[in-house]
Amino acid sequence: MTISKIEKHLPTQRSTYLVIKAKKSDKKDIQRFYKTQRYAAGFIGHDHAYFIKHNTKIIACVIISAGQESGLFWLLHGLVIDSEHRGSGIASILLRAVIAERLCKEETTQARYDNIICFAAQALATLYLSNKFVSHNTVKNIAQLPDEFRHRFLRYRENNKSLCCYLYSANFPHCA
């Protein structure tokens, strides 16, 4: 997990939420959040986590993990919102913060998250499509995924037939 921290104030219709890029010391709190939400999320490699707190409690979190191919592709997973705060736009705030992170890196001009892959239920299509992801579900699309993510997707899909693949790419025209 990265040890840097960013903070962004992102307005919503209800209030302003602070998106925080986790540091190592936040890992236990993040794991506790997932456990209380009954969600089995874990850190799988070179990970970055982003979360939102309300008062002192984490109410939303997402993890983005690098692939083995030198960070060319990233897997977005563990996007969870506390049940009391769902439906308030917080998921979109987290997605936008991850995408915007590629524009905030000052050490280099290279984008941090050029290609983000996400596996999610078909019921979440509107969330991802409205946040610059595209459906990436044809046989040809799946075949083009990096091996590690293609194998992971196919393995997950065996247990969840409605699982879909979504892709964000900084190279898409709508992301310019």
What residues have CB less than 8 Å from 109, skipping those under 6 apart?
none
Q: Which domains does the chain have, with CATH numbers?
A: 7-175 (3.40.630.30)
Whether the model clears a pTM of 0.95, i.e. scores above it, the answer is no
User: Each residue of 140-152: pLDDT tens digit?
Assistant: 999 999 999 999 9
pLDDT in tens, 17-70: 889 999 989 999 999 999 999 998 877 778 899 999 998 999 999 999 987 766
